[in-house]
A and B are shown apart, each in its own frame.
Chain A
Amino acid sequence: MRALRALVGAGQIKSLRRRLVWQFVVLSALLVAGLFVTVRWVAESASRASQDAVLGAAVTAIAEGVRSVDDGLELDLPYATFSMLGAMGDERIFYSLRVGADVVTGYEGLPPPPAPPTDLAPVFWAATHQGAQLRLAAVARPMLVDARAVPVMVTLGQTRRGQAAIARETAMGAAWVALAFLALVLPVALLAAEAVLSPVRRLAEVVARRGPRDLSPVRYPTPRELTPLLRALNGLIARLRGALDLAETFIFEAAHRIRTPLSLVRTEAELALAETSDPAARTRLRRMVRAIDDSSRSASQILDHAMVMYRSDQFEAEMLDLAALAASVLRAVEPLADLRDLRVTSAGLGRPCHLRGDQRMLEIALRNILDNAVKYARSEGTVHLALHEADRQAVLAVCDDGRGIAGDALTGRFRRGSNVEDVAGSGLGLTIVTEVAAAHRGRFSLTPRPEGGTCATLSLPLP
């Protein structure tokens, strides 16, 4: 049993598929070999049984042809019987009639039966005689010879050439069928292994298709045997998500803890600025306030970026009105524009513009675009926001009349961490907008205006 297990176990084979195929083939080969042996044995016994029936009848007929006559025994050879035996093919026939230990007629030296017969019930055995395989049958009959009862034994033998050939042919036929089966086994085994392993492969595909930040549990109908694997996988995902949630909470908490003292520092710096007229001190204080503003802006953008990445992976679009959203973001940015004495104008916001998107992500994008425009616009200049629909796209363009940027620098602005000239935080902001556009299957571009300034254009597909 252990040897069989070792043979089909295929412990060394790394691939489950090959292992399954190997096991299937080995087991099938064993079954086919067993079948071959069985067929051969059955064919052998069937041919022997039919030969025995004929031999038994024949030897009994010969024995019954022996008669006691006055001067001894008389044997009538039953020719019909011999011709019947001869009809069985190219076989040779041997017979002998013994009285006691003497051969009265027939061939000398036929092999003796293993157990001598006692009556007319035939005894069968196999033996070799003159180099040929013989099947022999013998019966015994007591006869009166000279008023004495003597045992008379009739032995009849027949070569097995033809019978053996029939058995061999039957077995060979079976062997061919078995080989044909074996040839079929390989593709069948491949198919079966494929069918057994396909749930594993599909599960792997489902897991592989996930984005790097998709940490929802895997819900996929799997066979019972794969449930422990799936459960272990989901357990791991849950632990990972827990760790990430903790990290996210930590980031927000850290932002909170850092921003509160920063506000105090900033406020105190502004108060100090109001109280001093020393130019050197004022320059230092202004630098300080500017550094705080930069770090605060960077922190906001890092959080925005994290939020956009997270929501891109869990993207769930809903119907929203881009015109209303743009109007509300514009309103939030207006005080900032006011600070720089910028005029903010808009067009196309009066009519709703419905599309499918993620409200929070789009709000972040619009906020970044407008913040950028306000930052770059010429002092006392204009920022113009226009929304229109064209080619099944909602096109939102925000144009400023700022200093404008050369083509190279424009594309560079999309790189994370790159700033334009002295304006901090512009790099990540535009990266964020580009990512929001990509998540919505839209486009974002910055183009210089011939009359000076830049247009930021966000195109989003309409449903």
Chain B
Amino acid sequence: MRILLVEDGEELARAVASRLALEGHGVDHAPTLADARLFLDSAPYDLILLDISLPDGDGRDFLAAERAARREVPVIMMTASASVGDRVSTLDLGADDYITKPFDFAELQARCRAVLRRRAGAADSRRHFAGFTFDALGANVTIGEETRELRARELRLLEILLSRPGQTYSKAHLIDRLFSFDEEVSDNAIEVYVGRLRRKLEGSGARIETLRGVGYRLIAE
């Protein structure tokens, strides 16, 4: 996904961009609303992550202006204030969702997916690999004529493995991406999901390979 991050905190923006890059997203950073306008005029984005208080104005005014001009790029507002009032007002202005700082990147990812699913059709969410088609928004894989539903964690696991096929992901890394931080999980927990995903991908010509002591990777047979 191509994401425009509008945030004035230089260090935070750099960290968020690096973190989102780990998920395989391309991120452009605009420190002001004026920069954000320039970026939006020059390239198409799948999503805007918009801070509320920016040096040259209020993110909500920017959002209202975008929507008034019928530019419908999905927007997730980021704010440091957790009041319901802000939530309601930003949603009324046409924001697709709202996330409070400090945010969980897994939650952000989940919210992005939910936003894109609601706007289904805006982008083609299908990916082909080996002998299967993966539909992230529809949460399924299709092998030949057969469509198999994926549960949320299976879907995220496949998304991660599929973002760079052939690359090895460690158990620890996968745990960070699949489980929220307030859950105590053992390293073995990941094996359960890998096992399930292997069954869902049976007969697809793709295989999740275990590299003992290192991790997992997705390869075509």
Contact = CB atoms under 8 A, between A and B. Distances in A.
Interface stretch (A21-29, A103-111, A224-232, A335-343): A335-343
Given A260-B101, A277-B172, A286-B181, A341 B151 contact: yes
A338 B182 contact: no
B184 to A, nearest CB: 8
Given A293-B181, A334-B114, A265 B102 contact: yes
Interface stretch (B57-65, B81-89, B125-133, B197-205): B81-89
Contacts of B80: 255-257, 259-260, 263
Interface stretch (A133-141, A295-303, A383-391): A295-303
A266 interface: yes
Given A260-B12, A270-B176, A360 B84 contact: yes
B181 A336 contact: no
Interface in A385-441: 422-424
Interface in A196-240: none
Given A264-B12, A268-B15, A296-B102, A335 B84 contact: no
B82 A300 contact: yes
A64 interface: no
Contacts of B210: none
Nearest to A425: B182
Interface stretch (B27-35, B38-46, B66-74, B103-111): B103-111
Which of the four size classes fits the interface of chain B?
Answer: 35 or more
Contact of B15 (A264, A336, A359, A367): A264
B81 A271 contact: no
B17 to A, nearest CB: 10
Contact of B19 (A260, A271, A334, A359): A271
A261 to B, nearest CB: 8
Which of A286, A292, A303, A334 neighbours the largest number of chain B CB atoms within 10 Å of its CB? A286
A375 B181 CA distance: 12
A338 B100 contact: no
Contact of B110 (A264, A293, A335): A335
A303 B79 CA distance: 14
A264 B11 contact: yes
Report whether over half of chain A's contact residues are helix, strand or loop; otherwise say mixed: helix
A262 B101 contact: yes
Contacts of A257: 80
Given A270-B105, A270-B176, A255 B15 contact: no
Interface in B176-214: 176, 180-184
Interface string A252-288: 1001110110111111101101100101001000100
The 10 closest A-B pairs by CB, nearest first: A335-B110, A263-B102, A259-B80, A267-B15, A300-B82, A263-B101, A266-B102, A256-B80, A262-B102, A341-B152
19 contacts: A252-B83, A255-B80, A255-B82, A263-B12, A263-B102, A264-B9, A267-B105, A271-B15, A273-B176, A279-B172, A293-B104, A299-B82, A307-B85, A332-B97, A334-B114, A339-B106, A340-B152, A359-B88, A360-B88
Interface of A: 252, 255-257, 259-260, 262-268, 270-271, 273-274, 277, 279, 282, 286, 289-290, 292-294, 296, 299-300, 303-304, 307, 328, 331-332, 334-336, 338-342, 359-360, 363-364, 367, 375, 379-380, 422-424
Interface of B: 9, 11-12, 15-16, 18-19, 22, 53, 80-85, 87-88, 91, 97-98, 100-107, 110-111, 113-114, 151-153, 170, 172-173, 176, 180-184
